[in-house]
Amino acid sequence: MVRLNVGGRPVTFLVDTGATRSVLTQPLAQASRETINIQGATGTTLQRPFLEPLECTLKGQAITHQFVYMPDCPVPLLGRDLLCKMKAQLSFNGDGSMNLGYGKVTLSVPLEESWRLMVAREFGCADKEVWRQFKVPYLWAEDNPPGFAAHHPPILIEEVPLKVPVRIRQRAYPRHIMQAIQDIIDLYLEHHILVPTESPWNTPILPIPKGDGRFRPVQDLRPVNLATIIIHPVVPNPYVILGLIPREAQWFSVIDLKDAFFTIPIHKKSQHLFAFEWENPNTGFKNSPTLFGAALARDLEALHIPAPDVVLQYVDDLLVTGYAEDACWQNTADLLSLLQELGYKASRKKAQLIQQKPPMGHQPRGCYPFDSLMVDFTDMPRCGPYNALLVIICTYMGWPECVPTRTKKATEVARALLHIVIPRYGLPSRISSDNGPEFIHKATQQLAKVLGITWKLHCSFHPPLGGRVERINRTIKDKLAKICQETHLK
């Protein structure tokens, strides 16, 4: 008898060298569509299913195997398939006892492919339903009624003096569209987000189709926008926000709040402005992003994230970082718990939880020295045939490598990579640059493709992406100018 850890559970197997397939008597995994015909000692042929692959661990060795599911078998069987996969060796002693040993697995790699053994392993969450592990069942909008942040005081909207109320008739739409809008209105009425009222104002509802075939009602509030005083917007530039992501951040979670502008209540004296009896600011109201963003920012002040990690807000989207996976888990759990406690609702479908993939527009840090590079050309005082510098920056250490070049062409980039960077520091996995002609040239991109390098392009003079290399360029120019001045070089 041998004891293995199968799918996280200990299972005792009977070693049966006469069995072609290994057998489990308990459904430790879902049954697959694959089946096999089994012929037992009685000669009867039966059809039995395979289970989904399970991880088996024995004495530190872990392999993945697919078992046959036979609930009518007396004991689990360790057959020849699993014995061969583990390279098991059976030996018998003089007293009749048996020993089960395991051979060593030898890995042979061609010399030209040996560099792949040095590539950093990519970690990620294998569980696609990672949201369940945070245990915030009342936060997800798909399973709960609409959210409402009742702890915020109602917002009073200031009107333009002597403004005449506007009444615009509702346009008719096909029956299926009207019914879709009516279902949403009924839901909001049920949870007191909409209330019946009488008002001299009336603006129409516009059905906006969504990607899944449903419709989202949006109120045409352009007349209301003209009748209210504009609040100075405090919505930050998204590129500036991305620039605030700390360099140490390796893990990220992104949360999208659902129907965010409907969660902040409006004062009763201002409700008459929102035609069709809206009790909350609609997505078409010009001040909604500012009002909601300020309210949410005040709520997030109660969240304490240890440095260097941060929580960044862009209107109703939240980004939380983590320098390590455990830190990102804890920061995300604290954020989700706070949002649930305050009555907000988040979209489970759009949530990106505990991911190493950086948000779009953020330059990630490499996993080891010279794993991820940033490259750019800068000018230099002519020295012999050289009049330019190819600046190569390691995102892991911040180390700049400067290569003097005769021109700013793709051939210079390829020559620097093949003759200087790769022989000295190894093969990088990722390179980023602007979309200049020397970097988008066929020669450069083809070289990256052959070497298996991911080449990311961004716009020239883009602060969040190219700001780091631009700062290095400026520092190099200042140093060169100072040296030339002190040594009287031209």
Long-range contacts of 270-273 (CB under 8 A, 24+ apart): 270/155, 270/156, 270/157, 270/159, 271/195, 271/197, 271/199, 272/197, 272/199, 272/200, 272/201, 273/157, 273/159, 273/199, 273/201, 273/224, 273/227, 273/228
- Which distant-in-sequence residues (6+ apart) come within 8 Å of 228 by Cβ? 157, 158, 159, 160, 273, 286, 287
With 0-12 CB in 10 A as exposed, 13-18 as middle and 19+ as buried, what is 269? exposed
Phi-psi region of 59 (alpha: psi -120 to 50; beta: other; left: phi over 0): left
Tokens describing residue 268: 């009763």
- Which distant-in-sequence residues (6+ apart) come within 8 Å of 217 by Cβ? 181, 184, 185, 205, 206, 207, 208
Tokens 């004495």 belong to residue? 59
Selection from 441, 435, 372, 386 nearest residue 413 by Cα:
441
Tokens 């057998």 belong to residue? 23
Selection from 70, 72, 67, 33 nearest residue 51 by Cα:
67
Virtual torsion, Cα 431, 437, 440, 444, nearest 10 deg: -70
Selection from 3, 51, 45 nearest residue 25 by Cα:
51
Phi-psi region of 426 (alpha: psi -120 to 50; beta: other; left: phi over 0): left
What's the CA gap between 134 and 137, in Å, rounded? 9
Apex CA 286: angle with CA 239 and CA 276, to 5°? 140
Is 371 noted as a catalytic residue in this protein? no
Tokens describing residue 64: 């993945």
Query: Active-site residue among 16, 81, 256, 317?
Result: 16
| Whether 358 contacts 464, CB under 8 Å | no
Please tell me the total number of residues recorded for the chain in this structure. 490
What's the CA gap between 221 and 229, in Å, rounded? 14
Apex CA 377: angle with CA 371 and CA 379, to 5°? 145
What's the CA gap between 6 and 65, in Å, rounded? 9
Tokens 């995994």 belong to residue? 29
CA distances in angstroms from 226 to 51, 271, 288, listed in the order given:
65, 16, 14
Q: Which residues are catalytic?
A: 16
